[in-house]
Structure 1
Amino acid sequence: MQQEFTITLFSEKHEGLINKVALIFTRRKININSFLVVFCKTVNLYRFTITFTETEEAVQNIVYQMEKVIEVFKCYLQTEAELSTYQILLLKFPNSDEKEKQVTSIINAFQIIQENDYCVYTSKTHKEIIQQLATKIAELEPMDSF
């Protein structure tokens, strides 16, 4: 049975990535309802949000294909029901910071970028856990900006 899905993926800036993503849908003759690309300045990543209607089996194959694209760091799949209960979270921490270990222990975070001076993590989690995380961050001393 077909239902509406939303795919959110994160990548760095690469020429032709929009074409690669659109080609995955074109080969399967799937119509895209919405396609949004946003630049996240704080973590220097691009976020793609794609909504479309398809069967769950076909969608699993699409997510698998997208994660195989080298430029894609992480790809999340959400149904309409999950969109109201889950949120995608991006965290940026200085390297070798104790706050990083304390905060990432609360959520199941996936590291997507490791640079010399910082790391970027992402996670798909419930709103309640994000509230717990916000209070934990508020309890910790303020982080230095870089």
Structure 2
Amino acid sequence: MEEKQNRYTLSIFTENKIGLVNRLTIIFTRRKMNILSLTTSESELKNIYRFTIVIKTTKDQVVKVVKQIEKQIGVLKAFFYEDDQVIFQEIALYKIPTEALFGGEKIEHIIREHYARILTVEKDFVVIEKTGHERETQELFEALQPYGVLGFVRSGRVAIAKPMKKVMAYLKDLEDLAYSVED
């Protein structure tokens, strides 16, 4: 019996090393896994970065991938979570013709209905911003299509884990280690 595939969010804490993104993506490529989303940013600890990677796979495979990721030089710790274990959002930007905005109240109603906001109004176009889950940003895209979407971009997932104990304990250990090295 084939194991069910789920969406997993990987949270990987790293040093800022050149080539690390490439080495991480090779791990997924070799296992024939598609990365659905990848974002990276500074973390709550100085000089520690967080990669947030979303994949769809089996639990057995995600466990193996996380173990392999943790073997990489520059990777401090990796965790994986199911969707109900993280709070996550994406941001989407939509560019539509300016005349669509001034063509009646319908477009304004769509923007309000989807809890979006107008980011900028230019002579030829308007940029609308929406923060939410992928489904929500896609729904707004579909609602705006009849008005002529000139451009659309959606960020990768940004996520923070609900279970804080293991993450915080590990990060505290890292912080203590960093202070002992500096002394």
Bin of the TM-score, shorter chain as denominator length: 0.5 to 0.7
Change (3 A) 1:32 1:62: same
Q: Distance in 1 between matches of 2:48 and 2:18?
A: 14
Q: SS where residue 32 of structure 2 aligns?
A: coil
Structure 2 residues without counterparts, runs of 5 or longer: 88-159
Structure 1 counterpart SS, 2:46: coil
The two structures have a TM-score, normalised by structure 2, of: 0.50
Over alpha carbons, which structure has the higher Rg? 2
Cα drift, residue 88 of structure 1? 6.5
Residue pair 1:74, 1:112 contacting (<8 A) in 2 also: no
Q: Aligned ranges for residues 84-123 of structure 1 at < 5 Å?
A: 84=87, 86-87=161-162, 107-108=165-166, 109-110=169-170, 111-113=173-175, 114-116=177-179
| Mapped contact 2:43–2:49 kept (Cα < 8 A) | yes
Deviation at 1:44, TM superposition (A): 1.6
Is the 1:5–1:51 contact (alpha carbons within 8 Å) kept by the matching residues of 2? yes
Cα distance, 1:40 vs. partner? 3.2
Amino acid at match of 2:21: I
**What is the deviation of 1:70?**
2.2
Q: Shift of residue 78 of structure 1?
A: 0.2
- In proportion to residue count, which structure has more helix? 2
Instruction: Identify unmatched segments of 5+ residues in structure 1.
Output: 90-106, 120-146
- The aligned amino acid for 2:82 is T
Give the Cα separation in 1 of the matches to 2:44 and 2:85. Answer: 26
The answer to whether the 8 A contact 1:35-1:49 is kept is yes
Match of 2:85 among 82, 87, 91: 82
Shift of the alpha carbon at 1:87?
2.9
Residue 21 of structure 1 is aligned with which of 13, 19, 24? 24
Per-residue Cα deviation, 1:28-86 (whole angstroms, up to 9, x for no partner): 11111100010237522110000010011111100010111121111111001211594
6, 9, 13: which one pairs with 2:12? 9
Equivalent position of 1:46 in the other structure: 49
Within-5 A mapping of 1:127-142: none
Using the TM superposition, give the Cα deviation of residue 116 of structure 1 relative to its aligned residue in structure 2, in angstroms: 4.0
Equivalent residue, structure 1, for 2:74:
71
TM-score (norm 1): 0.62
Q: How many residues align?
A: 102
Change (3 A) 1:118 1:3: same
2: distance between equivalents of 1:80 and 1:63? Answer: 17
The root-mean-square deviation of aligned C-alpha atoms, in Å, is 2.5
- Check whether the contact 1:32–1:50 (CA below 8 A) recurs between aligned residues: yes
